Amino acid sequence: MNKKIKILIFIVIIVGLIPLGYKQFLNNTVVKKITDLNDQGFMVTQQKDDSTYLTTMKTYKIVISNPDTIYQNFLSTFFNNSQKDIVKKFLNTINGGEITAEINILNFPVSHKDAINIYFTALPPKATSSKPNLFLNQIKDFLKNRGLGESISTNAFGKIESVRLKNIDKKFDAKKGDVELRVKDYISKFSKTDFKNYNYAFLTTNTLFDFTLNTNESKGFSTGYKNLKCDATRENLYNYSMSCNVKNFHFDMKKYSKNQTLKLNNILLSTKSALMGDSINYVFKYRIKGIDFNMASKYGKNVSTKIDNFVYSGSVKGINKNIFDELSKISYNSNKYILKQNYLKILQSLLNNGFVFQVDHFDVGSVTVNSGSKPITFGQITTKVKLEILKNNLDLSKRFNPLSIVRYLNLNADITLTKKDFDFIKSLDRRGKMSKIFNLAKEKGDKVQYKIIFKEGKLTVNDKKL
């Protein structure tokens, strides 16, 4: 046997052993993670094993059996104490519910698309113990037919790369009305997933979410959004950045002939936190291109408000790291009594340490109010504020006079509006009670400005002392 044939045989043997070795690796990673759920609040039993030499194919039945343990293992990182009760109530509601998990992976070290498919397949016993009805039967059929599920894709080492929700377009009929739910193209892609140590990065996109409730009494509501995109990166507890864009959001409330609607267009929400030395600095920006609010009064008269180009951005700087640590600790782990006892201490430390709150923009492009008569329109309004609380030794535990903090405050504010809007506001003050404030205004072309400075206990408005 020549040397080339020996090498070829060796390569064939090695390639042939890859599925066996990788299958063993899978049982120690992805498959093991499923079975480990027995110690994390679930009851897991294997239902089927159709694995072959080239594939790992297993089906598991997972029952929600211990809501408190599930919360502690999977959700406590994301919710603070004030939210914990709500989340636990939800978990208790679905306690006993059944989940089906299917693993379908090729036994080779490659990325696996839709490696794990998870479906909520049965309601908990509490929900099904009541008298069967049309709505409940439709929910059962929806779950039984795997209408509510997600697919998880992994890399060659069993790490989650993405989570994709199954599209939903379903209408449920009930005796007193109907419920409609639509979800389209929801997917989260992960590059880091160490959530317990606050080290993660993901990108979530969702083309459509819509929920509608209608009753036979002409009451109900609808809410939803289109084209969501959220990008989040976190290195640790203190350093993170997040931005979310939503093309459209709507909320409609219907009660007989009276309707209330809220529509938001082109929404941007972004926050960033960074640790600088011993201090944490936050930067935020909220922008909504269009806000439309319509409300019908009890007399049937419609009042609509339209706001264009709303921007709110700024920062909070100088929050001491130790204060943040203490606040996080009591918020996530304390009961209500301990929270109440400790919040005052945290507030005391925050006040004594001092910080800077700054609004770079609080701007409105225009505001239009229409109540059936001639619409009222306000032009551009811009606001900038910088509030600084200096280090101090004020004691909140004693009888506290709010005015005692004045000497530790520095304020610099700038408010600008159009001359037309300023004259309109003046016309509303028919008795002249606000004349002193109006007289402090400074006109600059077609703009009116108020520049307010408070420092060392002295207040000036446009360089005029008060």
Q: Note whether residue 293 is domain-resident.
A: no
- Report the pLDDT value the prediction gives residue 22, as an integer from 0 to 100: 64
Q: Note whether residue 206 is domain-resident.
A: no
Q: Note whether residue 214 is domain-resident.
A: no
What gap in Å lies between CA 449 and CA 62, rounded to an integer? 64
Q: Note whether residue 459 is domain-resident.
A: no
What gap in Å lies between CA 110 and CA 185, rounded to an integer? 25
| pLDDT mean values, one per 10 residues, the chain (466 residues) | 46 47 74 86 91 88 90 78 78 89 88 92 80 81 92 90 95 85 96 88 96 84 95 94 97 80 96 94 96 76 89 94 81 63 80 93 92 81 94 79 83 94 85 84 90 90 86
Q: Note whether residue 54 is domain-resident.
A: yes
- Report the pLDDT value the prediction gives residue 359, as an integer from 0 to 100: 96
Q: Note whether residue 40 is domain-resident.
A: yes
- Report the pLDDT value the prediction gives residue 9, as an integer from 0 to 100: 42
| 263 close to 292: Cβ distance less than 8 angstroms | yes
- Report the pLDDT value the prediction gives residue 5, as an integer from 0 to 100: 47
Give how many domains the chain has, as a whole number.
1
- Report the pLDDT value the prediction gives residue 195, as an integer from 0 to 100: 84
pTM for the whole structure:
0.86
Q: What is the 3-state secondary structure (H, E, C) of the chain?
A: CCHHHHHHHHHHHHHHHHHHHHHHHHHCCHHHHHHHHHHCCEEEEEEEECCCCCEEEEEEEEEECCHHHHHHHHHCCCCCHHHHHHHHHHHHHCCCCEEEEEEEEECCCCCEEEEEEEEEEECCHHHHCCCCCHHHHHHHHHHHCCCCEEEEEECCCCCEEEEEECCEEEEEEECCEEEEEEEEEEEEEEEEEECCCCEEEEEEEEEEEEEEEEECCCEEEEEEEEEEEEEEEECCCCCEEEEEEEEEEEEEEEECCEEEEEEEEEEEEEEEEEEECCEEEEEEEEEEEEEEEEEECCCCCEEEEEEEEEEEEEEEEEEEHHHHHHHHHHHHHCCHHHHHHHHHHHHHHHHHHCEEEEEEEEEEEEEEEECCCCCEEECCEEEEEEEEECCCCCCCCCCCCHHHHHHHEEEEEEEEEEHHHHHHHHHHCCCCCCHHHHHCCEEECCEEEEEEEEECCEEEECCEEC
- Report the pLDDT value the prediction gives residue 157, as an integer from 0 to 100: 84
- Report the pLDDT value the prediction gives residue 4, as an integer from 0 to 100: 45
Q: Note whether residue 67 is domain-resident.
A: yes
Which structural domain range is residue 37 located in? Answer: 19-166
Q: Note whether residue 36 is domain-resident.
A: yes
